[in-house]
Structure 1
């Protein structure tokens, strides 16, 4: 199973590891890596309600270079089972497609990591190869990659470069490598007023009016028009709530939530200050909670992206585009320690019913990762 990406992917998918549950997925992975001679560390962090979280760090060899693969064994919920053509945790194969929750995002890539690592072990190349695997990427991402990186620093095991196996390919395997991501900020806004009868507005204070005005000001600002490697930043209103069942009552409170996806022209704290100032101009006593889940980052095109590009070309004949599109990933944490890029399977079906990957793509991905290792350890 260590050499067969398909068999290992099936074994991993059959573990229903919906965040924060592990459901045996990392036991399966640890067994495969131990069989190859990897040193495996099981790292559990956190406590309820967001933990504890099972994480795994596995390493083989010593010295330099130190190359790491990174990814996650947790998956999102299945949704309505009736929408699936097969049991989402049965890992069935139909018409050349491996079907199952996590097939694309990203148990397939983890299986390809191991298959490539098995070939690397057989070559007896000098240096160190590692896997950084969390069970907390699809959830709050509090007790996963971040504390693992702190542990790696304390152990003196910081990699020289890292490849995250997120499903970056858009239409066909190999068409896209991610070299950065936009940052993400969420803000929860609560405006308090004074409840009263709609016929006597002078006796009440309508919080909806002030909230809507604040949101209009936030939406009116054009944050930027993009930068060299990034799309334009955007602010979206993701929720508005009042909870008022009566037609003749001015409510006492109104709430909203916004999200800002921002490029490298901005920093999270600066945007946080702007949100607070804009809302306070309309509602000075508003309660505002801001959480920045990641800053924008870019791994400038260079040695790491060149290595992955050459590996993709060698296997698929396709020259991948370098992109920063999409949501966030744990690469946003890893980038503080070393250069990081993301490359993996076609992601069109991730988080959907009948999530799937082509069996041929899974084998090709293992070949690509193997070519990456060959370049890293023979340079």
Structure 2
């Protein structure tokens, strides 16, 4: 292993807590457990639930998806939800995530006719058509963004012919690309637009699509203001609202209640020797505690 510390014991070294998931996002879970322990629930009407699921880093077919179904079926839908994702780039208190972009992936295959490069008239090079097909998704901004989101982006992630011969035109070529899209688009509209483009290029092609996330936003309002006030009271700074970055399970929770994300610093998440500053966990627990106090005082 490349780890300098045992990734499974939570080693505390020089004020840093090391371990797999320390930043993303076991540290956030620990902070909220501590916040609940500090909270005086005497004479409070209501409930506090900690929803901790698996499958978040995978295909997300189970986990929070199934939990949301259970909450609805059992009439346990929360009024609001805070997700403990590591939202801060450098220091605690910088950023609240109040939305996320959608994610659309494509596996595109283009078929041609194999042949000798010296006799291209006897072949049909699928790479030529593939490059034309990929033009709209080759690092291009797809819109101008809006009040909550930066422009949607598209990037090619792989191109493969499985052809090692320098003098052979391949019979097929495959490519993969991903689009991170904002609320200016629907996934079905993006698919339709691109498939029309592929048809205009012509030839034989197949595309397999996967929508792993839809975009959402929780507009600035009572929930984000409560969170900003709690963070300001502990850290002395007012966090910005952001919808940047990857997807999160908040995309499922937004279907049942207002949701926003705030947690630890994410600089080392998923890295060898992932760690968080232990002091940040203490501070985050105080922030979450303030959120609970303000919520039950009626700020949301």
With the shorter chain as reference, the TM-score category is over 0.9
Pick 1 or 2: higher relative contact order, CA cutoff 8 A, min separation 6. Answer: 2
What is the deviation of 1:221? 5.7
Aligned positions of 1:35-184 closer than 5 A: 81-82=1-2, 84-120=3-39, 123-184=42-103
**Deviations, residues 285-325 of structure 1 (Å, cap 9, x unaligned):** 31101111112111011111111111111111111111111
Of 156, 167, 174, the residue aligned with 1:255 is 174
Give the equivalent residue in structure 2 for 1:337: 256
Of 256, 265, 271, the residue aligned with 1:352 is 271
Contact 1:191 1:283 in 2 (8 A): no
Gaps of 5+ in 2: none
RMSD: 1.4
Give the equivalent residue in structure 1 for 2:209: 290
Equivalent position SS for 2:185: coil
Q: Quote the Cα distance in structure 1 between the aligned partners of 2:123 and 2:236.
A: 68
What is the deviation of 1:197? 1.8
Give the equivalent residue in structure 1 for 2:243: 324
Q: Quote the Cα distance in structure 2 between the aligned partners of 1:240 and 1:141.
A: 26
What is the deviation of 1:99? 0.9
Q: Quote the Cα distance in structure 2 between the aligned partners of 1:217 and 1:118.
A: 52
Contact 1:183 1:261 in 2 (8 A): yes
Equivalent position SS for 1:239: strand
Equivalent position SS for 1:117: helix
With the length of structure 2 as denominator, give the TM-score of the two structures.
0.95
Q: Quote the Cα distance in structure 2 between the aligned partners of 1:345 and 1:160.
A: 23
* 1:274 has 2:193 as partner: yes
Contact 1:218 1:275 in 2 (8 A): no
With the length of structure 1 as denominator, give the TM-score of the two structures.
0.76
Q: Quote the Cα distance in structure 2 between the aligned partners of 1:286 and 1:149.
A: 38
Contact 1:211 1:283 in 2 (8 A): no
Count of residues paired in the alignment: 298
